[in-house]
Chains A and B, each alone.
Chain A
Amino acid sequence: MRALTYHGKMKVQVDSHPDPQIVNPRDAIIEVTSTAICGSDLHLFDGVIPGVLKGDILGHEFMGRVVEVGPKSTLEVGQRVVVPFTISCGACFHCRNQEFSHCDNSNPVEKQDMSETLYGHSMAGLFGYSHLTGGYPGGQAEFVRVPFSDVGPIVIPDHIPDEQALFLSDILPTGWMAADQATVEPGDTIVVWGAGPVGLFAAQSAKVMGAEQVIVIDHYPRRLALARKMGAKVIDRSQTNVLEALMEMTGGQGPDAVIDAVGMESHGFGNFNLPDTIKQKVGIGADRIGALREAITAVRKGGRVSVPGAYGGMSDKFPTGALMEKGLTLRTGQTHVQRYYRELLERIERGEIDTTFLISHVMALEDAPRGYDQFRNNQNEWTKVVLKPKWEKGRQEEGRARTELDMEAGVAAGPRPAALSTEEALHA
Chain B
Amino acid sequence: MDRDDSWLDEPRPSWPPHGALEGHHFGAPAPRPGPLTERRVVAAAATLGLGALVGLAAYAYLGPSASQSKRRADAPRLTDDAPGRTARQARFGDYAVTGRSVTIDRPREEIYAFWRDFANLPRFMENIVEAGEPEPGLSTWTIRAPLGQTVKVRSRIVNDRAGEQIAWRSTPDSQIETEGKVMFRDAPGGRGTIVETVIAYKPPMGALGQAVAKLFSAEPSVQARRDLKRLKMLLEAGEIATNVNRRDKANKAQQGGPSVQADLSRSATPTAIPTATA
Contacts and interface: CB of A to CB of B under 8 A. Distances in A.
Interface of A: 1-2, 18-26, 29, 31, 67-72, 77, 87, 89-93, 96, 104-113, 117-118, 125, 134-137, 142-145, 147-148, 279, 282-286, 313-314, 316, 366
A135 B245 CA distance: 11
Interface in B220-268: 222, 226, 229-230, 232-233, 236-247, 250, 254, 260, 263-264, 266-268
A143 B226 CA distance: 30
B276 interface: yes
A10 to B, nearest CB: 21
A77 B275 CA distance: 16
B269 interface: yes
B103 interface: yes
Interface stretch (B26-34, B42-50, B71-79): B42-50
Given A72-B263, A314-B48, A21 B238 contact: no
Interface of B: 43, 47-51, 103, 105, 191-192, 222, 226, 229-230, 232-233, 236-247, 250, 254, 260, 263-264, 266-271, 273-276, 278
15 contacts: A21-B245, A21-B247, A23-B247, A24-B260, A68-B270, A68-B273, A70-B264, A70-B267, A71-B264, A89-B237, A91-B105, A91-B238, A109-B226, A109-B241, A283-B49
Contact of B49 (A90, A92, A148, A284): A284
A123 B247 CA distance: 24
Nearest to A137: B245
Nearest to A90: B237
A108 B254 contact: no
B239 A21 contact: no
B262 to A, nearest CB: 9
B263 A25 contact: yes
Nearest to A19: B273
Contacts of A108: 240-243
Contact of B242 (A24, A31, A68): A24
A261 to B, nearest CB: 26
Main SS at interface, chain B:
loop
Contacts of A107: 241
A125 B267 contact: no
Contacts of B105: 91-93, 96
Contacts of A111: 243
A96 B192 CA distance: 12
Given A21-B273, A105-B236, A112-B229, A145 B49 contact: no
Main SS at interface, chain A:
loop
Nearest to B102: A104
Nearest to A68: B269
A110 B230 CA distance: 10
Q: Which 9 A-B pairs have the closest CB atoms?
A: A284-B49, A20-B245, A89-B237, A145-B245, A24-B239, A19-B273, A71-B263, A105-B237, A284-B50
Contacts of A25: 238-239, 260, 263-264
Nearest to A112: B229
A104 B50 CA distance: 32
A65 to B, nearest CB: 11
A145 B274 CA distance: 14
Contacts of A285: 48-49
A108 to B, nearest CB: 5
Nearest to A70: B267
Nearest to A18: B246
Contacts of A23: 242, 244-247, 250, 254
Given A71-B263, A105-B232, A2 B242 contact: no
Contact of A92 (B47, B48, B236, B276): B236
Contacts of A92: 105, 232, 236-237
Contacts of B264: 22, 25, 70-71
A109 B278 contact: no
A135 B270 CA distance: 27
Contacts of B278: 2, 366
A25 B48 CA distance: 39
B136 to A, nearest CB: 32
A68 to B, nearest CB: 5
A89 to B, nearest CB: 4
A142 B276 contact: yes
B49 A314 contact: yes
A20 B244 CA distance: 9
Contacts of B239: 24-26, 72
